[in-house]
Structure 1
Amino acid sequence: MSKRLLNLAALLLVLASGAHAADKPKAVGQYVDLQPVAMPIVIDGQLVNYVFVYVRINLTSGADVVKLRDREPAFRDALVRDAHRTPFVVPGNWERIDEAKLVAALTRDATAIAGPGALNSVVVTAQAPRKRMMPPRPQAPTSP
């Protein structure tokens, strides 16, 4: 009886390994996900918060994904430089960044880094403020 059980186990092992070998490798998406980047929120020259942004750079079907994923630090560096040059601040909100401004700036830089015809789009997938903050109070009007 144990020989029969051993043969059955061997048959199951062969079938399982054959099914595993038949699995197709999963297709790699045509994108580069950036590591989270801290965007400064600067109000009146004062740093009041950081918002961590998660960005995906979607590539065209003909782009060299492996090469461009190796360039991920260059994409992040360009984003940080843009954010410090002109902060992506949403007026009246210290917990979010202006996605449209960020996408426009990074699209310009990512196109220069990736080369012509490699970039499809840039998308902010998430935002997470470092500190939860109340919006700034409106200033009281001054009397003459």
Structure 2
Amino acid sequence: MLRRALIAAAPLVLLAAAAEASDKKEDKTPVGQYVDLSPVALPIVVRGQLVNYVFVYVRINLTNGANSVKLREKEPFFRDALVRAGHRTPFTRPDDYSVVDEAGLSAALTREAIQIAGPGAVKSVVVTSQSPKKRIIMPRPKSAA
């Protein structure tokens, strides 16, 4: 009878040990504060003509003292600021029309995000992913003939 009780309790003991081990792992890894923006299509404009759209995924990294819940509610404002900046001065790279200028995008959105979130809340802006609407072969330079 005691043997049957031990056999029946063995799986429960193993599950409890596994759950306790996973709880310890979660406590050790710090969770960064950030706001992920919904994908945004940014125009690629060359000599005043639209040649492509690039869909970008952007993450706004927040400082430790920032209220991430409150700032996640402002995600539409961050996204709107990105769209406005991308249409005001397109983030076009001169060497590739299938990707955006990440440094320019990060700098522009960082300025806007600080205005929206307030000083001391934004740590950095990172482009996590981007994909073009279409792959474009770079045009050949026109000859001076």
Q: TM-score range by the shorter chain?
A: 0.7 to 0.9
Residue of structure 2 in register with 1:56 after alignment = 59
TM-score (ref. length: structure 1): 0.82
Q: Summarize the Cα distance change of 1:45–1:6 in structure 2 as closer, same or farther, 3 Å threshold.
A: farther
User: Which amino acid in the other structure matches residue 42 of structure 2?
Assistant: M
**Contact 1:90–1:96 (Cα < 8 Å) also in 2:** yes
Correspondences of 1:83-98 after superposition (within 5 Å): 83-98=86-101
Mapped pair 1:118 → 2:116: no
Q: What stretches of structure 2 of length at least 5 have no aligned partner?
A: none
Cα deviation code 1:26-49 (max 9, x no counterpart): 653212222222111112222211
SS in structure 2 of the partner of residue 40 of structure 1? strand
User: Which amino acid in the other structure matches residue 49 of structure 1?
Assistant: N
- Per the TM alignment, residue 106 of structure 1 is displaced from its structure 2 partner at its CA by 0.1
Correspondences of 1:1-144 after superposition (within 5 Å): 4-5=3-4, 8-10=7-9, 12-13=11-12, 16-17=15-16, 20=19, 23=23, 27-142=30-145
User: Identity of aligned pairs, percent?
Assistant: 63
Query: For residues 143 and 4 of structure 2, what CA distance do their matches in structure 1 show?
Result: 85
- Per the TM alignment, residue 6 of structure 1 is displaced from its structure 2 partner at its CA by 5.8
**Contact 1:40–1:50 (Cα < 8 Å) also in 2:** yes
Query: For residues 105 and 134 of structure 1, what CA distance do their matches in structure 2 show?
Result: 27
Query: For residues 4 and 61 of structure 2, what CA distance do their matches in structure 1 show?
Result: 52
User: Which amino acid in the other structure matches residue 8 of structure 2?
Assistant: A
SS in structure 2 of the partner of residue 124 of structure 1? strand
Aligned length: 141
TM-score (ref. length: structure 2): 0.81
Cα deviation code 1:44-77 (max 9, x no counterpart): 2222111122222111110111111222221111
- Per the TM alignment, residue 92 of structure 1 is displaced from its structure 2 partner at its CA by 3.7
Q: Summarize the Cα distance change of 1:6–1:49 in structure 2 as closer, same or farther, 3 Å threshold.
A: farther
Q: What stretches of structure 1 of length at least 5 have no aligned partner?
A: none
Query: For residues 137 and 47 of structure 1, what CA distance do their matches in structure 2 show?
Result: 17
- Per the TM alignment, residue 17 of structure 1 is displaced from its structure 2 partner at its CA by 4.5
